[in-house]
Amino acid sequence: MLSIPSKSFRHPLAFLIGRDVEGHWLAVETHGRGGGIFSDRSAALRYAAFETGHRPRAVRMTAKTLRLL
């Protein structure tokens, strides 16, 4: 995964963590600026927390099916 340079964007990074239709764990940036496919939920959460600087409420879980664009 590549780090996203958050200082170059107007809105702070925020991620949704969930699964795709095939059951893979995804971390998807809510403004379409990045994300990734992960081996487990914990890895997706670690990535999203790191990318958001561990900001409170910047990473959310969802039961909805996600997809990377």
Share of the chain above pLDDT 90, in %: 77
Task: Please tell me the total count of domains within the chain.
Answer: 1
Which of the two residues, 42 and 2, has the higher pLDDT score? 42
| Residue 19, H or E segment | strand 15-19
Q: Residue 5: inside a domain, yes or no? A: no
Query: In the structure, what pLDDT confidence band is assigned to residue 8 with cuts at 50, 70 and 90?
Result: low
Domain with 18 in it: 12-51
Q: What is the pTM of this model?
A: 0.82
Q: Which two tokens stand for residue 3?
A: 């780090």
Q: Residue 57: inside a domain, yes or no? A: no
- Phi, psi (5° rounding) for residue 43? -65, -40
Residue in the block written with tokens 């081996």: 39
pLDDT of residue 45: 98
Query: In the structure, what pLDDT confidence band is assigned to residue 69 with cuts at 50, 70 and 90?
Result: confident
List, as own/partner pairs, every contact residues 41-47 make where C-beta atoms lie below 8 angstroms and the sequence separation is at least 24, other chains included: 41/17, 44/17, 45/17, 47/1
Identify any residues that bridge with 37 across adjacent strands, giving them in sequence order: 26
Q: Residue 64: inside a domain, yes or no? A: no
